[in-house]
Structure 1
């Protein structure tokens, strides 16, 4: 019963609780799940850099391919590497016990991470790894201090150092909201800073889609429901007048 209560508590907690855990100011992220090119690039980045440790086991390859406009043969050739069938769930072959020994905890499934953590949190998190020789993997993170995850995107971004000293909660100007400090790039990656920001945007955009694949369909159906209710309002109002005309 205790476990169920804890799970319920986490389910109803607002995203802002998680987003504010370090006090670091988050950058705003505006998702666009209608942009198939962005989602396709995000899926590519996820497959190349995230899928080795993380799963999205509540998705199916076939559904993702259809939603993102990817032919099934290309999906099997470029995304499915473990012999899974096109209709299988997007699981992960990493052994949980081995992962605990390597990272201190098994990497979580990422299907719903954009709903749990929030897109702003993810976008800022993936861009704020910095060099920290005290940590086991040589890096730390401003949004998630002392995180056990290595900087898997360092090949793309390069390595940066934190040029800010002091309380992270004071890293924006109280009046303008501008950042008072940031990072200095000490080792270049294969992408420019602008290209890396775009790659991270696409990756987070894909994870936003993964958390709610029906988002566009829900919005489309919602418009038809509102239109139906608007049309229904007219006969409902006339019927009400007919029933109540003799009351007064």
Structure 2
């Protein structure tokens, strides 16, 4: 009996320890390095913000990073950017509008320049979090000991240069934070582009089920009224 009780306690302690270990791992994956993350201004219904974020991503990020799971055509259908504007301002090569938003730079070049191949960012806000990405974009600071002269408070010793440095120097702090919010908003959209449509369909389904419940309830009452 005593041995059985001890065994049960050991199992319970093991499960609790595993739960805390998983929680710590998830916390580190989301934030990392115990940094206080800033709240990202995410609003997937703000198409103007998503449009600005798409332009920022194309202008500043697509030299090295792709969003392979998104096609240029979705900038038109989802973000209401005119097709001709997408062709003129977002596609910089001979790709058509149904092509994936993929860079042309060979992977080995990125590895040579930065020490590792720049990752695809389609799901960046899912395997990190919107707050992490937003804080990372705002986390660069000067560090002469680093190869590109910058470091990052969220991702220490990151190999990426501060590609937004010139932009940050030319606008106010609030304008820069707003721009990084737009960029994070766009990357949150790319991670789950059907989220708004799915939630909208879900609302209609719940309304339908609520209405359906009324005749079903009366039918059930009528069916069972003579059953004793």
TM-score, normalisation: structure 2: 0.85
The equivalent of 1:78 in structure 2 is 89
Aligned 8 A contact 1:19 1:121 in 2? yes
Aligned 8 A contact 1:15 1:115 in 2? no
The equivalent of 1:217 in structure 2 is 197
Q: Shift of residue 89 of structure 1? A: 0.9
- 1:55 is aligned, of 26, 45, 66, to 66
Q: Which runs of 5+ in 1 are unaligned?
A: 1-11, 158-188
Structure 1 vs Structure 2 CA RMSD: 1.7
Question: Computing the radius of gyration over CA atoms, which structure comes out larger, 1 or 2?
Answer: 2
Compared CA separation, residues 114 and 69, structure 1 to 2 (3 A): same
Q: Shift of residue 15 of structure 1? A: 5.8
CA distance in 2, matches of 1:89, 1:219: 25
The equivalent of 1:29 in structure 2 is 40
TM-score, normalisation: structure 1: 0.79
CA distance in 1, matches of 2:196, 2:32: 31
**2:170 counterpart SS class:** coil
Q: Shift of residue 242 of structure 1? A: 2.8
Aligned 8 A contact 1:15 1:116 in 2? no
CA distance in 1, matches of 2:103, 2:47: 24
- 1:192 is aligned, of 172, 177, 184, to 172
Greater percentage in helix: 2
The equivalent of 1:139 in structure 2 is 150
Residues matched between the structures, number: 206
CA distance in 2, matches of 1:16, 1:50: 26
- 1:236 is aligned, of 213, 216, 227, to 216
CA distance in 1, matches of 2:59, 2:173: 19
Q: Which runs of 5+ in 2 are unaligned?
A: 1-21
CA distance in 1, matches of 2:171, 2:179: 9
Aligned 8 A contact 1:139 1:150 in 2? yes
1:43-83 C-alpha deviation (Å, 9 max, x unpaired): 11111110000001111111122211111111100000021
CA distance in 2, matches of 1:15, 1:227: 35
Compared CA separation, residues 15 and 204, structure 1 to 2 (3 A): farther
Q: Shift of residue 19 of structure 1? A: 2.1
CA distance in 1, matches of 2:132, 2:191: 14
Q: Shift of residue 243 of structure 1? A: 3.3
CA distance in 2, matches of 1:197, 1:20: 19
* Structure 1 residue ranges (4+ consecutive) displaced by more than 6 angstroms after TM superposition: none
- 1:124 aligns to 2:135 (yes or no): yes
Aligned 8 A contact 2:28 2:34 in 1? no
